[in-house]
Amino acid sequence: MVFSGFDIVVIAAVVLVILVLFAGIKTVPQGYRYTIERFGRYTRTLEPGLNLIVPFIERIGAKMNVMEQVLDVPRQEVITRDNASVSADAVAFYQVLNAAQAAYQVSDLQNAILNLTMTNIRSVMGSMDLDELLSNREIINDRLLRVVDEAVGPWGIKVTRVEIKDIQPPKDLVDAMGRQMKAEREKRAQVLEAEGSRNAQILRAEGAKQSAVLQAEGQREAAFREAEARERLAEAEAKATRVVSEAIASGDVQAINYFVAQKYTEAMLAIGSAPNSKIVLMPMESASLIGSLGGIGAIAREVFGETRGEPPAPPRPSRPPAAPRTTPGIVQPNPINPFEAK
């Protein structure tokens, strides 16, 4: 097959158009941004998807990853404010927000962020004491994030997080801190033991005080009841005395016999229960004692009879007491008043 000159020109034109189309069509993957340069000057940024550029005039300048990226910060030595040497490493998370600024405002973006983060770690941690450094890691992270993010802002970069992974003091310093912690714990244990002993003593004292209060209240209640019982007894004796006095005032001699017999019996009980008395020889007239007891019974009938509304029984004529048997040399008691000798 022989091609004429026109056919060759047409074929060349079609091939050229195809090459131009392939050169002008650009596909940008998700998570990336491409910068476009025209004759070496930045013109625009291509978004993800199918894009068209002017072939042979425009070209792709930089392919920027706009996904969040992780930057590992190597371990470095830091001297704290109290002259303690520690080693620390960290990790930083950043994201490209403006592809053009990240591509044209700084050279070697990751190296710049890395050195900036390391410098600020030494600055922030060097301004703190060792104890504060070990116990306030969140404060260190916040300060680092604020300082680094402010520094990379003109580059179109957003630092999302800066974390201190590990802080290692020297071994001798770790041993000294362990001894200090042990001493503090022992001191705290002694303080707690002393406080427990003091609380136990306070509880015992309160228990003793409460026991004494309860005992005093019990004694007071017992004394009150004893006084009440004595008061009741005194009222009963006063009532009995008033009744006997009224009986005596009305001419009833049996009331006198009641008191005589009571005193006579109490005197005999006292004489018989004395510790220095072994044998008691005292003659007495049994009929007199029986008569006195009869007088007591009469008084009781009169009292209880009047209480129930019954008329009192008429008094019985009393027999003259028999002459007591006497023994020479012994004084005989008077049957009317045993404490008055004949």
Other residues' Cβ atoms within 10 Å of the Cβ of residue 298: 21
Find where tokens 């048997």 sit.
325
Q: What is the pTM of this model?
A: 0.51
Question: What is the phi-psi region of residue 222: left when phi exceeds 0, alpha when psi lies from -120 to 50, beta otherwise?
Answer: alpha
- pLDDT tens, position by position, for the chain (342 residues)? 666 777 788 888 888 888 888 888 889 999 999 999 998 899 999 999 999 888 888 899 999 999 999 999 999 898 888 888 889 999 999 999 999 999 999 988 999 999 999 999 999 988 888 888 888 888 999 999 999 999 999 999 999 999 998 888 878 777 777 788 888 888 888 898 888 888 888 988 888 888 888 888 888 888 888 888 888 888 887 777 777 777 777 766 666 666 667 776 777 677 666 666 555 555 455 445 555 555 555 555 654 554 444 444 454 544 444 444 444 433 444 444 444 443
Distance, in Å, from the CA atom of 260 to the CA atom of 247, rounded to the nearest integer, reads 15
Helices (H), the chain: 5-24, 99-104, 109-126, 130-135, 137-152, 171-249, 254-272, 286-307
For each of the domains in the chain, give its residue range(s) and CATH number, in order of start: 5-65 (no CATH), 69-169 (3.30.479.30), 252-342 (no CATH)
